[in-house]
Amino acid sequence: MTTGIALQIGQTLLALVLAPMLMGWVNVCRAWLQGRVAPPLLQPYYNLRKLFHKDAVLAHDATRLFRFAPYIIFACMVLAAGIVPTLANDLPFSPAADVIALVGLFALARVFQALAALDIGTAFGSLGARREMLIAFLAEPALLMVFFTASLISQSTELPHIVDRLAHQEFALYPSLAFAAVAFWMVSTAENARIPVDNPTTHLELTMIHEAMVLEYSARHLAMIEWAVALKLFTYSTLGIALFLPWGIAPAGDLNALPLALLALALKLAIGGAALALLETVNAKMRLFRAPEFLGTAFLLAVLGMLTHFLLEV
Amino acid sequence: MEMYWLLGLPLAGGITLAFWGHRAHAPEINAAFSLATLIAAGWLTAHIVAEGPVLIGGDGWFYIDAFNVFLVALTAFVAFTTALFSRPYMRIEQAHGRVNAARLRLYHASYQLFIGTMLLALTTNNMGILWVAMEAATLTTVLLVSLYRTPAALEAAWKYFILCGVGIALALFGTILLYFAAEQVLGAGGGALSWTHLNAVKTRLEPVVLQLAFVFLLVGYGTKVGLVPLHSWLPDAHGEGPTPISAVLSGLLLNVALYAVMRSKVLVDGALGGASLAGALMMGFGLLSVLVAALLIRRQTDVKRMFAYSSIEHMGLITFAFGMGGMVASFAALLHMTVHSLTKSAIFYAVGHATQKAGTQVMEDIRGLIKTNPTIGWGLILGTIAILGVPPFGVFASEFLIITTTMHQHPWATPVLLTALGVAFAAMFGRVQPMVFGETTLPRLPHQPALLPVFVHLALVLMLGLFIPGYLAHWYRQAACLLGG
Amino acid sequence: MSLTYHLQVVNLLAALLLLIAFAMLSQRRIVGLITLFAWQGAALATSTAIVAWSTGQHHLYYSAALTLGLKVVLVPWYFFRLIRQLDVDREVEPMINIPTTMLIGIILVIFAFNLALPISQMAGTVTRSTLGIALASVLLAFLMMITRSKAIPQVIGFLAMENGLFFAATSATYGMPLVVELGVALDVLVAVFVLGIFFFHIRETFDSMDLKHMERLREK
C-alpha cells in the first residue's frame, strides 16, 4: 500500500516534470520536419520560468473567477495525470477515479477555461469559448465511446484493470481496439487543440480556438495554463499508451520492472511525439465547420469498435 | 457431344466475328453461326426427348432435363430468327449512319457471346457457374445497349450495368449461402454446388439458410427478370438499345434469369417441405410487377418502352404462376414463357422496321403503317393482338390457364390480375391501333421489308393457341412436374 | 475464447476491411478511393492466405493469389492509368452530408451483424464470426454506390462489393469451389475492362464523368 501511494505520487510528479519536455520534443520534431532550426528541447521550461518571473496584468473587469481559473485548470490536469498509469500499474486511488472520472476532470477544466474566457467579455474570448464548447460537445461522447470499447474487453472502467488485461495476461489481438485507437487519435487532436482541428501556433482570429481563450492571460496565470496544456497532452499520450500499447508498464507489486517501464515510456513518448509532429506537418488544419464531421466520424468509429467487439470477441 | 457444339459454336462465332464482324458478310456469318447453334440445340433436344435427363461432362458439368432443354431450344430458335432480322436491320442502320463498321464488329461479336452465355447459364449444372454466366450475359450486353452512343443510350447502359451488377452481386451472396448450406450436407468442393447433387439432398438442407439464400437469389436474379421494384433498367435498355437487342433481351434474357430463380426455388421448396416462403415471395413480386407495369404502360410515349413494360407485365405474370406452384400453374407458366418469347420478339422485329422507316420511336409520330407498309402494319397489329391475349393465339391459352388456376387457389388475386390485364389491353391497343390504321399522308413505300421471322413466330404462337402437339405437351408436363407438380 | 494468433490476425484484418469500407464511404478524392480499394484487396488477400495456411485449405491459396493479382495490382493499376487518360485524377466529389451517410452506414452494420448472427452460429468454420463483417462491407459498398454520382467511384463501389462477397465466402465456407472463384474473377476482370471502354464513351458523349448529366430517362 505504501509503495502504491509512493508510486502514485511519483507518477504524478513525473508527469508534471516530463509534460513540458514532451511539448518541447513535439516542437523540435516539427521544426525538423519543416526544415526549420529547432528550438531547444527544454524551451517550454524556459518559457515557464520566464512567465513565472513576470508581473501579472489583469483586465479591469476581470473577476475572481478569471484569477482562479488557471489554478483550477492546472489542478484538474494534475489529478488527471495521476489517474493514468504511466510506469507502474499499482495505483491505490484508481477505484476512486476511473476513465469516466477522467472525462469529468477534463470537462471541468474546460468549463472553467471557457468561463474565464467569457468573464472578461472580449470578443475573442467569447468566440474561443463558443468554439471550444462546440468541439467539446462533439468530442466528449466519442471519447466516452472509446473508453467503453476498451472497458468492454476488461469488464472494468478502471485503467489499471484495462492495462492489466491487455499487457499482463495472455496476448490477444482485439480488432475493436483498432477502431477505438483511430477514434482516440481523432478525439485527442481535437481535445488538445492540435492540427487538423486547431492550430496551437496560430493567432489568426478566423481559425484559432484554444488560443483565443487564453489571450488575456499573462505571467503566472499564463504559465499555469501553458503547463496545464502540456500536462493534458502528456495525459492523453499516456492514456493512448495505456489503452493501446500498454506493454512495458510494470505490473502491480513488481518494482524491478520500473527502470524498464521508464525506458519504455520514454521511447513510446518519443515515438508518439514524433508521430504527432509528422501528422501535424502533413495535414492541414480543416475549416471549423468540418470539425463536426471529423468528430462525428470519430464517434462512429468508436461505435463500430464496440459493435466489432460484440461480433468478434465475445 | 452436341453439348460442346452448342456452347462452342457461339464462342467460336464471337471470336470469328471479333475479327470479321465489320466485313460485308458479317451479318450472314452471324446468321450462319446462329443456325448452326440452332441445329446443335435441336440435336440436343432430340437426344433428351429420346433418352430423358442426362448429365454431361466429366464431373457432371452440364445437366439437361425437360425444363432447360425446352428453354435451350427456344433460346437457340429466337437467337437464330433475331440474327436473320438483324441482318437487314443493322445494314440499314449503318446506311443511316447510326453505327459504323467498328461498332458493327462489336455488335456481332457481342451478340454471339451473349447467346453463348445464356446457353451456358441454361445448361450448366453448377449454381456458381450459373451465376458467372448470368453476370457475363450482363457484361456482353452493356456495350450493345450503348451501341448508338447517344446520351440516352449511354445512360440506359450505365443503369443497366449498375442495377444488374448490384442485383447479381446479391445473387452471389445467395449462392454463397446456398453453398454454405450444401457444404454441411455434401462436404466441400465443386460437387456441393451441383444442382443435381443439391436436388438429391434438398430435404436435408438447412431451411433457415436456404430461405435467406432464396431471398437474395430472388432479388438478385429478379432484377434481371425485371420484377418491380427492380425493373427500372429494363425499359431504358429496351428503349435505347438496337432493336434486335431489345428482342433478345425481352425474349430470352428475362427467361434465363427466371430460369435461375426457378432452379433455386425447387431447392428451397424441397428444404422447407412444400408450400413455402419462396412461392409466396414470387407471387407477391409477380403480382406487383403485373399491376405496376400495366399502369405504367398507359403513360408511355415511346413504342419500344411501351413493349418493354409489357415484358415486365408478362414476366410478372409468369413469376406469379410459378409462385403458385402446382402442375397446372407451372404448365401454364412454361407455355406462357414460350409464347411470350416468340410474340414479343416478333413484335420487336415489326416495331424495329416501323421505327426505322418512320425515323422515330414516338408513337404519335408513327401513323398509318397499314397504308405505307402493309407487311409491317399487319405484323405489328397481329403481334399486339397476340400479346394482349386475344384468342386464338397461344398467349390466350396460357393466360386463361393461369387465371383459372388463380381462381382456384388464390381467388383474391384474380381481380387484380384481370384489372391489370384489362388496363394493359386498353392502353396498348389504343396506342397501336392508330399507329397501324391512322391517317397518314406518307406514300406507300416502294419495297416491302422481309418480315419472315415475324410471321413465323406469330404462326407458331397461333399454333400453340389452337393445339399443342403431343410431344410438346408431354415435354411441358415433364418440366412442370419437375418444378412443382 | 481461445483463438489462435493467426485467427486473431484474420479478425483484425476483418476489422480493417470494415474500417476501409467506411473510409471509402467518406473519401472524396478518386485517387484516394483507388488506393483504399487496393488496400482493401490487400487485407482480403492476406486474410485469405492466413486462413488457407491455418486450416490447410489449399485452394484458398489460389483464391488469395487471384485477389492479390487482380484486385491489388491489376485493377488499381488499370484505374490509375484510366483516370490519368481521362484526366480526372484530381477530381474531387462534392459530397454533402458525410455524417448522415456514416450514420446510415452504422445502421447497415448493425443490420448486417444481426442478419449474419444465426448463420454464423451454424457455420463450422473457425472464421465464422467475420461473416457479419463481410456482409457489412457488402452493404457499405452498396451504400457507397448509391451516394456517388461519378462513374468511377460507383464502379469502385461495385468492386468493393465483390471484395465483401469474397470475404463472405471465405468466412462462411472457406471459399467457393475453385472453378466458381475463377469464373467470378474472370467476370470481374471483364467488367473492369468493359467499363474502362465505357468510361471513354461516357466521356466522349457527356464531356464529363459526372453521372448527374444522365437524367434524360427519368420516368415522366
- pLDDT, tens digit (0-9, with 9 covering 90-100), for B262-309: 999 989 888 887 667 888 999 999 999 999 999 999 888 999 999 999
Residue A236 belongs to what domain range? 2-312
pLDDT band at B334; cut points 50, 70, 90: very high
Which residue, among A145, A104, A146, A113, has the nearest Cα to A131 in the 3D structure?
A: A113
pLDDT band at C2; cut points 50, 70, 90: very low
Q: Does A286 touch chain C (CB under 8 A)?
A: no
Chain C residues whose CB is inside 8 A of the B105 CB are none
Establish if C179 belongs to a structural domain. yes
Rounded to whole angstroms, what are the CA distances from B254 to B140, B175, B336, C17? 15, 19, 13, 35
What is the pLDDT averaged over residues B354-377? 87
Does position B5 have pLDDT exceeding 50, yes or no? yes
Query: E strands along B302-348, which residues?
Result: none
Our count of domains for chain C comes to: 1
Mutate to test the interface with C, among B59, B124, B125, B155 (most CBs of C within 10 A): B155
Cell of A298: 470519430
CB atoms within 10 A of CB B448: 12
Which residue, among A175, A151, A147, A188, has the nearest Cα to A295 in the 3D structure?
A: A188
CB atoms within 10 A of CB B150: 14
Chain C residues whose CB is inside 8 A of the B236 CB are 217
Q: Say if the Cβ atoms of C216 and B208 lie within 8 Å.
A: no
Chain C residues whose CB is inside 8 A of the A175 CB are 11-12, 14-16
Which residue, among A281, A303, A272, has the nearest Cα to A183 in the 3D structure?
A: A303
CA distance A241 to chain C (A): 19
CB A200 within 8 A of CB A193: yes
CA distance C163 to chain A (A): 19
Residue C144 belongs to what domain range? 5-213
Does position B467 have pLDDT exceeding 70, yes or no? yes
Place of cell 505490473: A251
Q: Say if the Cβ atoms of B154 and C158 lie within 8 Å.
A: no
Q: Say if the Cβ atoms of B143 and C194 lie within 8 Å.
A: yes
CB B483 within 8 A of CB B330: yes
CB B67 within 8 A of CB B22: no
pLDDT of residue B351: 92
Cell of C158: 461495385
Q: Say if the Cβ atoms of B139 and C194 lie within 8 Å.
A: yes
pLDDT per residue over C129-143, tens digit each? 788 888 899 999 988
What is the pLDDT averaged over residues B337-348? 94
Chain C residues whose CB is inside 8 A of the B130 CB are none
Q: Say if the Cβ atoms of B169 and C162 lie within 8 Å.
A: yes
pLDDT of residue B121: 94
- What phi and psi values does residue A302 have, to the nearest 5 degrees? -65, -40
Does position B3 have pLDDT exceeding 90, yes or no? no
Q: How many CA atoms within 13 Å lie on the side-chain side of C203?
A: 13
The domains of chain B are located at 276-485
Q: Does C205 touch chain B (CB under 8 A)?
A: yes
Q: Distance between CA B218 and CA B221 in Å, rounded? A: 5
Measured N-to-C along each axis, helices C75-86 and C30-55 cross at an angle, to the nearest 10 degrees, of 170
Rounded to whole angstroms, what are the CA distances from B159 to B174, B217, B385, C155? 22, 20, 31, 12
Chain B residues whose CB is inside 8 A of the C195 CB are 142, 161
Which residue, among C164, C107, C42, has the nearest Cα to A304 in the 3D structure?
A: C107
CB B409 within 8 A of CB B324: yes
Rounded to whole angstroms, what are the CA distances from B95 to B88, B313, C98, C140, C187? 11, 35, 50, 47, 35
Question: Which neighbouring-strand residues pair with C104?
Answer: none
Establish if C43 belongs to a structural domain. yes
CA distance C186 to chain A (A): 32
Cell of C88: 480526372
Place of cell 475464447: C1
Chain A residues whose CB is inside 8 A of the C103 CB are 300
Our count of domains for chain A comes to: 1
pLDDT of residue B247: 93
Report the Cα C175 to chain-centroid distance in Å.
16
Does position B207 have pLDDT exceeding 90, yes or no? no
Question: Which neighbouring-strand residues pair with B55?
Answer: B63
pLDDT of residue C220: 46
Q: Does A244 touch chain C (CB under 8 A)?
A: no
Nearest CA in chain B to C124: B184
**Alpha-carbon dihedral sign for residues C30, C33, C35, C41:** negative
pLDDT per residue over C176-218, tens digit each? 888 888 888 888 888 888 888 888 888 888 877 777 777 666 5
Greatest mean pLDDT among A14-28, A110-124, B200-214, B332-346 lies in B332-346
pLDDT of residue B47: 86
Look up the ipTM and state it: 0.90
Can you list the residues of chain A whose pLDDT is less than 50?
none
pLDDT per residue over B175-189, tens digit each? 998 988 888 888 776
Which residues, 6 or more positions from A311, have their beta carbon under 8 angstroms from its beta carbon? Answer: C113, C129, C132, C133
Three-class SS state of C92:
strand
Angle at A199 between CA A197 and CA A200, to 5 degrees: 130
Angle at A65 between CA A59 and CA A66, to 5 degrees: 35
Q: Does C161 touch chain B (CB under 8 A)?
A: yes
pLDDT of residue C54: 84
> Which chains would you list as touching B if contact means 3+ CB atom pairs under 8 Å?
C
Which residue type does A134 have?
L
What is the pLDDT averaged over residues B447-454? 79
Q: Which among A171, A297, A307 is the nearest to C110, CB-wise? A: A307
> Which chains would you list as touching C if contact means 3+ CB atom pairs under 8 Å?
A, B
Q: Say if the Cβ atoms of B142 and C204 lie within 8 Å.
A: no
Report the Cα B85 to chain-centroid distance in Å.
17
Angle at B140 between CA B137 and CA B141, to 5 degrees: 90
Does position C95 have pLDDT exceeding 70, yes or no? no
pLDDT of residue A192: 83
Q: Distance between CA B281 and CA B215 in Å, rounded? A: 8
Report the Cα B66 to chain-centroid distance in Å.
18
Question: Which neighbouring-strand residues pair with B194?
Answer: B126
Angle at B177 between CA B217 and CA B61, to 5 degrees: 80
Q: Say if the Cβ atoms of A172 and C3 lie within 8 Å.
A: yes
Chain C residues whose CB is inside 8 A of the B143 CB are 194, 197-198
Chain B residues whose CB is inside 8 A of the C206 CB are 151, 154
Does chain C touch chain A (at least 3 C-beta pairs within 8 Å)?
A: yes
How buried is residue B96: exposed, middle or buried, by Cβ count under 10 Å (0-12/13-18/19+)? exposed
What is the pLDDT averaged over residues B210-232? 91
pLDDT of residue C1: 38
Residues of chain C with pLDDT > 70, as a percent, come to 94
> Which chains would you list as touching A if contact means 3+ CB atom pairs under 8 Å?
C
CB B219 within 8 A of CB B212: no
What is the pLDDT averaged over residues C63-85? 89
Chain C residues whose CB is inside 8 A of the B132 CB are 180, 183-184, 186-187
CA distance C59 to chain B (A): 10
Residues of chain C with pLDDT > 90, as a percent, come to 12
Place of cell 415484358: B311
Q: Distance between CA B226 and CA B241 in Å, rounded? A: 16
CA distance C124 to chain B (A): 8
Q: Distance between CA B450 and CA B89 in Å, rounded? A: 10
Cell of B132: 458467372
Establish if C218 belongs to a structural domain. no
Q: Distance between CA B166 and CA C142 in Å, rounded? A: 8
Which residue type does C7 have?
L
pLDDT per residue over A180-237, tens digit each? 888 998 899 888 877 777 777 777 777 777 887 877 888 888 989 889 999 999 999 9
Q: Does C207 touch chain B (CB under 8 A)?
A: no
Q: Distance between CA B142 and CA B146 in Å, rounded? A: 7
HEC sequence for chain A:
CHHHHHHHHHHHHHHHHHHHHHHHHHHHHHHHHCCCCCCCCCHHHHHHHHHHHCCCCCCCCCCHHHHHHHHHHHHHHHHHHHHCCCCECCCCCHHHCCHHHHHHHHHHHHHHHHHHHHHCCCHHHHHHHHHHHHHHHHHHHHHHHHHHHHHHHHCCCCHHHHHHHHHCCCCCCCHHHHHHHHHHHHHHHHHCCCCCCCCCCCCCCCCCCHHHHCCCCCHHHHHHHHHHHHHHHHHHHHHHHHHHCCCCCECCCCHHHHHHHHHHHHHHHHHHHHHHHHHHHHCCCCCHHHHHHHHHHHHHHHHHHHHHHHHHCC
What is the pLDDT averaged over residues B81-93? 91
How is chain C split among helix, strand and coil, in percent rounded to 5?
A: 80, 0, 20
Chain A residues whose CB is inside 8 A of the C98 CB are 293, 296-297
Three-class SS state of B247:
helix
pLDDT of residue C216: 64
Which residue type does B340 have?
H
Q: How many CA atoms within 13 Å lie on the side-chain side of A189?
A: 26
Interface A–C counts its CB contacts (< 8 A) at 65
Chain C residues whose CB is inside 8 A of the B193 CB are 176-177, 180
Q: How many CA atoms within 13 Å lie on the side-chain side of B399?
A: 25
Q: Say if the Cβ atoms of A173 and C1 lie within 8 Å.
A: no
Q: Say if the Cβ atoms of B149 and C201 lie within 8 Å.
A: yes
Average pLDDT of chain B to the nearest whole number:
90
Chain C residues whose CB is inside 8 A of the B150 CB are 205
Please state which of the ranges A269-278, B63-72, B324-333, C86-95 shows the lowest mean pLDDT.
Answer: C86-95
Does chain B touch chain A (at least 3 C-beta pairs within 8 Å)?
A: no
Q: Distance between CA B311 and CA B314 in Å, rounded? A: 5
